[in-house]
Amino acid sequence: MVTNIYVTNQLRKYIFISAQEGDIYRLLFHSDAHSVSSLKMAARKPNSTDTYNNLLKEIHSGTLKPVYYLFGEEEFYIDRLVEAFTNLVPSHEKDFNFDLLYGQEVSVAKALGIARSYPMMAERRVVLVRNFLQMGKSGEGSLQDFIPYFEQPNPTCLLVLFDTGKPAANTNLGKALSKNKNVGYHHFEALPDYLIPDWVIAWVDTHHHKRIEGGAAQLLAQFVGNNLQLLSTEIDKVCTFVDASEKVTEGDVKKIIGSYREYTAIELKEALIKRNLDQALYIAEQMLQHAKSDTGELIRLVGFFNSVFTNIWQIRRFVEKGWQKNQVQSELGIASAWYFNKLWEDAANFRYGDMPRIFEALLDADRSIKGFSTLDSTSILFLLIKRIIG
């Protein structure tokens, strides 16, 4: 992940907003559009999958902190952790030693009273609080009252707090949650697009004990996006469809996901990578003709290509730095050898100096979709393809 970008006054800024996700990629190029400014890279930080797996290990090992605060937009993992924490209390003890509270329904005083109470005929009780930040808006107490509890928690109670957001880092509550040794503080961000095919491959393997083709995983990622809950549901459908077969193919995915178009974004990408202009234009035309909404299809394609060329850009700049292939794979955090090899092959077809031109073309297409052009959808897509191929 890029954390610091050093620029000079001569740099020209391109900002491309992904039509699919709303993510902002700030790429700062020299005004001659042939070289990129130096970038300071940080070591890869754990993503939500890493955090989830580490927390599961903690739960299964029994070595738990007395308090956890879990937050973020990746609710798929948070929901599964709610289930894991719930299962720590045997079913015959739940009436006395388990509480699931909702911040909008319970006062701070009541929640703290439950957390401070001792388990009945058991070693511990578990108290889960969802929508934590909504607590304290009515009833007794304020969220600040939790701070003393974090300092001296009940050793026989596991208190787990959940929310999509977090208290401001400069507040007493924010500091108490993020810096106290008694609190496990974990952020679950949405997985970036480039990790989704890898996630699909791993999920199919670990939860369905099947092998999914790399192309099929890419297809699922392109059709569904990075919504892990929806992805897991679609994976369930596909794996049920293949039944006894140990392998999931692209054909299986096309049948179940409901896309009966002759061509997909993956095939259009392959034509672009090979710089086959005639084939790319033909596929693009067919896709728009078979789409329910050509504007919607164009938005999805621009978002998809933004993700594709962000991957290529990352790989090319590492290569420019002299990094070896295994170093790049480790930095990007991609476990699947097949998927990374495919990204590596795609990146080999472009130069580092191609990136400014390609991202500027994507930016212009994005602006055209939003009404800053008189071109129709077909013309916008054809022009984008021509500019990417060069």
Report DSSP letters for 167-194, one per residue. --TTSHHHHHHHH-TTEEEEE-PPPPGG
Phi and psi, residue 14, nearest 5°? -115, 130
CA 134 from chain centre, in angstroms, equals 26
Q: Per the structure block, which two tokens stand in for 141?
A: 């107490």
Where exactly are the structural domains of the chain? 2-41, 48-187, 193-260, 265-390
Calpha distance 256→241 (Å, rounded): 8
Q: For 5-38, what is each residue's pLDDT tens digit?
A: 322 232 233 333 333 333 333 443 333 333 333 3
pLDDT per residue, tens digit, the chain (390 aa), is 333 332 223 223 333 333 333 333 344 333 333 333 333 334 467 889 999 999 999 999 988 999 999 999 999 999 999 999 999 999 999 999 999 999 999 999 999 999 999 999 888 999 999 999 999 776 678 999 999 999 999 999 999 999 999 999 999 999 999 999 999 999 999 988 888 999 999 999 999 999 999 889 988 887 787 889 989 988 998 998 888 889 999 888 888 775 545 678 888 999 999 999 999 998 998 888 877 788 888 998 998 899 899 989 999 999 999 999 999 999 888 888 888 898 999 999 999 999 999 999 999 999 999 888 888 889 999 999 999 998
Q: What's the confidence (pLDDT) of residue 4?
A: 31
pLDDT value at residue 97: 95
Burial class (CB in 10 A: 0-12, 13-18, 19+), 21: middle
Tokens coding 161: 């707090």
Which DSSP string corresponds to 51-108? HHHHHHHHHHHT---SEEEEESS-HHHHHHHHHHHHTTS-GGGHHHHEEEEETTTS-H
CATH topology classification for 265-390: Zinc Finger, Delta Prime; domain 3 (1.20.272)
pLDDT value at position 351? 92
CA–CA dist 163, 129 (Å, integer): 9
Element (H, E) at 254: helix 250-257
Q: What are 149's two structure tokens? A: 């509890």
CATH assignment, 48-187: 3.40.50.300
Beta carbons within 10 angstroms of residue 379's beta carbon: 12
CATH topology of domain 193-260: Helicase, Ruva Protein; domain 3 (1.10.8)
CB 102 within 8 A of CB 128: no
